[in-house]
Structure 1
Amino acid sequence: MTKAERALETRERILGAACEVIAEIGFENVSMRKVAEHAGVSKALLHYHFDTREKLFAEAMTHSFAQTGTDLEGEDGASVPATVLLARIVRTMLPTDAELRQDWKLWQELWARAQRDPAARHLAVDLYDQLHTWVAGAVERGIASGEFQQCDVPALSTLVLALSDGLGIRVMLDDPRVDLATARSTIWAAIAPALGIGPEFPEV
């Protein structure tokens, strides 16, 4: 392993540890020492890669976001139907499993910080722009293939994100009225008419 590869591996380990610690105890309670201990690195090495908590938080959020979007298309790549891809995106935008619940805790920290920190607010807006692009790409792919009818793609993307946020919060709260199946089916039933598809959430 080269020096550059070792540095990248260390950086990834630190970011993974930061995500776990922030999700567990909240950003306001996080110290660089706690992240370093969790990552199994020295505090000096942590500061070499990230000189402030704020930079570490921003990089951790970006890292979490990037990890969430990987391998949605699976081994089939471009042959995955747009309906399946969009359903996978919807599933991934909800706290479906332990890893995604951790991502949701990070988003909740970002929302809270964005209210009083311009840098966090800009980061949140940028990540939402990427989410819009992610959803819009799947919808446009479905329109191009004939799976979906023509629709207002930006408006539909906004609707998917808004419903995912609202229903995802209810799931995170363990609200008995909204479980994961309800959240998925509610989102799909809301967007299906615009796409010209059936209202049943696909098995993906």
Structure 2
Amino acid sequence: MTKAERALETRERILTAACEVIADIGFESISMRKVAEHAGVSKALLHYHFDTREKLFAEAMTHSFAQTGKDSGDEAGSVPAAVALARILRSMLPTDAELRQDWKLWQELWVRAQRDAAARHLAVDLYDQLHAWVGAAVERGIASGEFRDCDVAALGTLVLALCDGLGIRLMLDDPRVDLSTARATIWRTIAPVLGVPDAFPEEV
């Protein structure tokens, strides 16, 4: 392993540890020491890669966001557009332990964004990326004739709003909203716009 590869591996380990610690105890309670211990590195090495908690938090959020979408994309249009969109919706809801951790990070970001300009800009940037992710799937479906022509930007805003609202209910373990209900609610809302059946696609 080269020096550059070792540095990259260490950076990845630190970011993974930071995501886990922030999700576990919240950003306001973390220290660089706690993250270093969790990552199995020295505090000095942690500071070599990230000199402030704020930079570490921003990088951890970006890392978490990238990991979320890594395995849920549609390689070269290999599945129907409806299935690709359903996969995206699954990744945008707290559907398993890993995604619940991601949601905890998002909740930390929402809180920080209320009083920190850098966090606010980061949140808006990540939402822009989510819009682009949803929009690309919808545009492919329109181009292939699978979806009805529609206002892609408006639909993206609707999808994100539904995922945020229902995702919060899932994080709260609200007995009125389970995963199947959340998925069905989102799909029934957007299906008429897309001109597709209102049953959530099974192949996800």
TM-score bin (small chain): over 0.9
Between the aligned partners of 2:167 and 2:173, the Cα distance in structure 1 is 10
Structure 1 match to 2:147? 148
| Pairs aligned (count) | 203
Structure 1 position 79, deviation (Å): 1.8
Q: CA deviation at 1:191?
A: 0.3
Task: Report the equivalent of 2:12.
Answer: 12
**1:73·1:80 contact (CA, 8 Å) conserved in 2?**
no
Deviations along 1:4-52, whole A, 9 cap, x unmatched? 0000000000000000000000000000000000000000000000000
Measured after TM superposition, the shift of residue 81 of structure 1 is 1.2
Q: Deviations over 1:137-192 (max 9, x none)?
A: 00000000110010010000000000000000000000000011100000000000
CA–CA distance in structure 2, aligned partners of residues 81 and 73 of structure 1: 12
Amino acid at match of 1:152: D
When the two structures are superposed, what TM-score results if normalisation uses the length of structure 2?
A: 0.98
SS in 1 for 2:22: helix
1:62-121 C-alpha deviation (Å, 9 max, x unpaired)? 0000000112236x5422211111000001100000000000000000000000000000
Name the structure 2 match of 1:35: 35
Determine if contact 1:19/1:61 at 8 Å carries over to the other structure.
Answer: yes
Between the aligned partners of 2:152 and 2:159, the Cα distance in structure 1 is 11
Alignment identity in percent? 83
- Distance of 1:95 and 1:135 partners within structure 2: 17
Give the secondary structure class of the aligned counterpart of 2:196. Answer: coil
Say which SS state the counterpart of residue 148 (structure 2) adopts.
coil
RMSD: 0.8
Structure 1: gaps (5+ residues): none
Give the 5 Å matches for 1:1-204. Answer: 1-73=1-73, 77-203=76-202, 204=204
Gaps of 5+ in 2: none
Alpha-carbon distance between aligned partners in 2 of 1:158 and 1:167, rounded to the nearest angstrom? 14
The one-letter amino acid paired with 2:32 is M
Runs (4 or more) in structure 1 with deviation over 3 Å come to none
